[in-house]
Structure 1
Amino acid sequence: MNRDATLSWVLGVVAVAVGYVQWGWQGVVLATTLVVFWLLLQFSRALRTMRDAAAAPIGSVASAVMLHSKLRPGMRLPQVLRLTASLGRPVSTEPEAFEWGDASGAKVRTEWLDGRLVRWDLVRPAETAEPSSAQVPPA
């Protein structure tokens, strides 16, 4: 279990204990109700994020450059899904990698370890227009 989950469980147990000490069994009921309400809020938020991301085309983002600038190490997938508003296109499973691209052809490839963002790269489309030597005036 990671540190955030452990802290959440400890806070829930502390809330129940404080409720019991202060108000007896009514305090336990109140603390349990508050913990369940908090869990429902988190679940609702996760479902809303997934619903919004599933409605968009897979692997598309408005601007790959802007996405690249907003990514930070340690971000969780739901945080990245809120930024992209779409599900990523799976690239590989080992390491777990997803990709988002924009209309210009630029792509952001992300790598994940234990549900956290560890690495990302911006890949821009290759420039195809090379200057021709016939267009250069003689010196």
Structure 2
Amino acid sequence: MRPMNFQKVFVPLTGLLLLGLSYRSFGWSGVAVACTGIVMFLLLHFTRTMQVLKRAADRPIGYVASAVMLNAKLKPGVTLLHVVAMTRSLGLLKTPKEQQPETYRWTDGGLSYVEGIFLNGKLQSWTLTRPPVEDDAAPVALQDGNPPPAV
């Protein structure tokens, strides 16, 4: 059995309570003002969601400018929408659809990536993985345990 998400119940109940108190205090004009406020809240939330998705639509799926910077900015409990807003990219889904928890990956140009685990849309944990560093400089040959003299 899935745990109950109180936010899904609390927000509608708060709206109904607000409507009831508005009617009791100010009659139908109070209900009209409360409905206007509720609709305004819903429109603001919808507009923000559409703006985040519009920005993410212009970028490749699972791409982020810097995985290290994303790793530094993440905090437990942030929503998937907030992470998409930070990265300006939809994450690459690594788990089967509709399976909880969900794992998303964002990769940067240097092949470093951040994998975030989301439970019911909230970030639970994340890991930063960086590719192994290859040294371009040739190894210094030691003679008798000492490096060669500098020229």
Q: What band does the TM-score fall into relative to the shorter chain?
A: 0.7 to 0.9
Name 2:53's counterpart in structure 1. 50
Question: Post-superposition shift, 1:47?
Answer: 1.0
**In the alignment, which of 98, 103, 117 is matched to residue 123 of structure 2?**
117
Question: Post-superposition shift, 1:31?
Answer: 0.8
Q: Deviations over 1:104-135 (max 9, x none)?
A: 111001112211111211010112338766x4
Name 2:83's counterpart in structure 1. 80
Name 1:138's counterpart in structure 2. 143
TM-score, scaled to structure 2? 0.81
Secondary structure of the residue aligned to 2:134 is coil
TM-score, scaled to structure 1? 0.88
How far apart, in 2, do the equivalents of 1:45 and 1:132 lie? 52
Percent identity, please.
36
Q: Deviations over 1:38-78 (max 9, x none)?
A: 11111111111111111111111111001011111121100
Rg bigger for which structure?
2
**In the alignment, which of 100, 116, 121 is matched to residue 106 of structure 2?**
100
Name 2:27's counterpart in structure 1. 24
How far apart, in 1, do the equivalents of 2:120 and 2:30 lie? 37
Higher helix share: 1
How far apart, in 1, do the equivalents of 2:121 and 2:29 lie? 38
Alignment RMSD (CA, Å): 1.9
Secondary structure of the residue aligned to 1:92 is coil
Question: Post-superposition shift, 1:6?
Answer: 2.9
Q: Give the letter for the 1:121 counterpart.
A: T
* Count of residues paired in the alignment: 138
Which range is displaced more, 57-66 or 5-14? 5-14
Structure 2 residue runs of 5 or longer lacking an equivalent are: 145-151
Q: Deviations over 1:66-93 (max 9, x none)?
A: 1011111121100101110111112222
